[in-house]
Amino acid sequence: MTGNQFHLGIDVGGTFTDAVLICEETGRIDTAKVPSTPADPSIGFMAAVERVLEGRAVDPGTISRLVHGTTVATNSLIEGKTPKTAFVTTEGFGDMLEIARQVRPSLYDVHFEKSRPLVPRDLCYEVPERLDAEGGVLKPLDEDAVREIAAALRARAVRSVAVCLLHGYANPVHEARVAEILREEDSDLLISLSSTVCPEFREYFRASTCVINACIVPVVARYLAGIEAGLKRAGLQAELLVMQSNGGVLTAAQAASKPVFMVESGPAAGVVSANFIAGQLGHTDLISFDMGGTTAKAGAVLDGRPRVTKEYEVGAQAQPGQGMTRASGYPIRTPVIDLVEVGAGGGSRAWVDPGGGLRVGPRSAGADPGPICYGRGGTEPTITDANLVLGRLNPDYFLGGEMELDVDAATAGIRERCAEPLGLAPIEAANGIIEIANATMVNALRLVTVRRGNDPRELTMVAFGGAGPLHANRLCMEMQIPVLVIPPSPGTASALGLLVTDLRHEFSRTRVTAAGAADPGQIRSLFEVMENEGRRTLRREGVAAADMAFRRGIEMRYAGQSSEVPVALPREGADDGTDARALVGAVCRFHGEHERIYGRGYPEEPVELVNFTVTAIGRIARPRLSKIGANGEGVSDALRGTRRVFFADAAGFVETAIYDRARLRAGHHVAGPAIIEEVDSTTLLHEGYRAGVDESGNLLISPGRAP
């Protein structure tokens, strides 16, 4: 093994910690899965590192790249395990976090609660000062008052503080001065400024973003420092990179100062992975579908770029059928890969409601006790139980045979809890559970496709997660998605995303300007300021100038609207995208985008430019994956036998061929109905579909018959 360099990705999830190791020279991939250790996630992290390195006897010194995805930031918030944090704002507005949006998260519920502010009211401080909407100073900053606040913070042993002053997005002068004074008074204080973290208008959302950053800074900094120390002890020299919510990576040092950018680090990796896998096949427009134990997540990638949103709530409840007035979590306004998450995972429970309706999720049996068939004390039927009863899962080959599944118990549970109350046979009820779960997932897929104006008939689906390949074929049928890709080792495919992305930093500035009156020169210098900031950051991260790229964009709206539509500014040759003609072109594209998303464009209406954005990218070379090649054997070599599997379209059980994925070779074709089993997942292939195996070991599923 000497001489080879390796890339290592570690994805810490709620239940499992996954490791993926790629050999730079051969492209061979190895994976490992260990239980997560929520009390101190770095223990699970190191265990996964050791497990995957041991598996191949790799010398830790040969790891040339190390990327981490984690939900530790989000979890610490949701579990309320953040250290004492304070909030400083303009006099008169100290209750910003308490009042929040002044709405209820559920309409017809007298027992509702507003989400508890992350900073208690007695740690919210007001400082006399005031800017106007243009950033002009109406009232100068009262510096003595800031010093008094500093003294109070010291007295209360506050370690981290968020500063968000009214109209601070338009002019950071007062926030910057507050930071200087606080630092003079206490050099150890961790300070998050809204004008640095998220310089966009609408104070509550900016403040919320900044406060979340301040709350998790100490946690994430300590966590990453612990991991870096552990890695050093284990002999790994490579710099630790961290996946952000937007799908890019950044250095651990950057992540530790702006952790709000990594709250959805783990799920983002899945979409990046899907994008990479499809990209290898030449597909640039796709849906990423990740179904695990508790939820299913759908995301869209268009033109090779994952869709990113700035409307995200940390800790919001995932509820199908619930609309926008969620307000059940804490909003952030940093870019997050746009994922729709629904409560339909393998462990989601099925139940009969008092009106006699069969329902599935969003509650989950989790990993413990888990589905009934695990035999660990679970008593409520789940999606996994239904799949087992329908013959889709192999009771003797779950997790490669590590766990035996109890079919009889699953059948009895479904009979008692679902079938009998509805007057159905257990098989009918099990099929119903699957159909309803599929319908919920179809709704999620609709949200990321048709609702965003994307036609699913032009997309490819990449499905992964332990349960994804069992359901994906049916979902593609429903959505008329023509091509389905199941990557090898779907259970750990998400972690691959960590190793196939770039360094990425997002910058934005709010300058509300009428499109007709915009000054290209001013816009250009605004972009240049942000690009210079990006260039400095990338340089600090060791990126060579030749590997840097900058993308400019303007978020626009019709003058009078409040929701902006992002429009990219292309950069061709010497054109810097901000001359008058380029602006006209961008406004034209805005009309088109508005029509695509909302069904109508209004070219005669005046347009406003609102936020100017720059994405700074430091390119990282992608690994080449190894090929599996052909071995001359026919597909029958991979045939394991047959089993009776229930198919709704056949209205009954069908004797179905079972294949061993490990023995499928490039060029093989399998015709549905069929089941393809591997250690961490099971692929269900329907009648009328066929699966081809490509050189990378992907299953490519499309409508068609056996050749």
Interaction with another protein in 591-630: which residues (CB under 8 A)? 594, 597-600, 602, 605
Task: Tell me: does residue 651 bind another protein (CB under 8 A).
Answer: no
**Stretch near another protein under the rule CB under 8 A, chosen from 221-229, 295-303, 438-446, 577-585:** 438-446
- Per CB under 8 A, which of residues 291..320 are in contact with another protein? 320
Strands 358-364 and 160-164: unpaired
Task: Tell me: does residue 357 bind another protein (CB under 8 A).
Answer: yes
Task: Tell me: does residue 558 bind another protein (CB under 8 A).
Answer: yes
In the chain, what's the furthest Cα-to-Cα distance? 82
Q: How many Å apart are CA 493 and CA 464, to the nearest integer?
A: 7
- Per CB under 8 A, which of residues 88..107 are in contact with another protein? 92-96, 98-99, 101-104, 106-107
By C-beta, is 358 or 405 nearer to another protein? 358
Task: Tell me: does residue 173 bind another protein (CB under 8 A).
Answer: no
Q: How many Å apart are CA 492 and CA 21, to the nearest integer?
A: 11
Task: Tell me: does residue 561 bind another protein (CB under 8 A).
Answer: yes
Q: How many Å apart are CA 41 and CA 34, to the nearest integer?
A: 11
E strand map for 600-638: 607-618
- Per CB under 8 A, which of residues 119..148 are in contact with another protein? 120-122, 132-133
Complete DSSP assignment for 493-543: HHHHGGGS--EEEEEEEEEEEEGGG--HHHHHHHHHHHHHHHHHHHHHTT-
Q: Give the CA angle between residues 162, 168, 170 to the nearest 5°.
A: 150
User: Binding marks (x or -) toward another protein, 448..467, rule CB under 8 A?
Assistant: --xx----------------
**Stretch near another protein under the rule CB under 8 A, chosen from 240-248, 348-356, 369-377, 481-489:** 348-356
By C-beta, is 299 or 497 nearer to another protein? 299
Q: Give the CA angle between residues 484, 488, 489 to the nearest 5°.
A: 120
Give the chain's radius of gyration (CA, Å): 26
Please, what is the minimum distance in Å from the beta carbon of residue 394 to another protein? 25
Task: Tell me: does residue 80 bind another protein (CB under 8 A).
Answer: no
Please, what is the minimum distance in Å from the beta carbon of residue 106 to another protein? 7
Chain Cα centroid distance, residue 682? 23
- Per CB under 8 A, which of residues 479..518 are in contact with another protein? 512
Taking CB under 8 A as the criterion, the residue among 205, 374, 507, 550 binding another protein is 205
Task: Tell me: does residue 169 bind another protein (CB under 8 A).
Answer: yes
Taking CB under 8 A as the criterion, the residue among 563, 633, 642, 649 binding another protein is 563
Q: How many residues line the site for another protein (CB under 8 A)?
A: 75
Give 89's strand partners. Answer: 126, 164
Tokens coding 360: 């599935």
Task: Tell me: does residue 321 bind another protein (CB under 8 A).
Answer: yes
Q: Among positive and negative, which fits the CA dihedral 196, 197, 201, 207?
A: negative
Taking CB under 8 A as the criterion, the residue among 35, 112, 144, 544 binding another protein is 112
**Stretch near another protein under the rule CB under 8 A, chosen from 35-43, 45-53, 165-173, 245-253:** 165-173
Give the 3-state secondary structure of residue 193. Answer: strand
Give the 3-state secondary structure of residue 690. Answer: strand
Please, what is the minimum distance in Å from the beta carbon of residue 28 to another protein? 44
By C-beta, is 99 or 225 nearer to another protein? 99
Q: What are the φ/ψ torsions at residue 462 (nearest 5 degrees)?
A: -110, 120
Up-side HSE of residue 422: CA atoms within 13 Å toward CB? 23
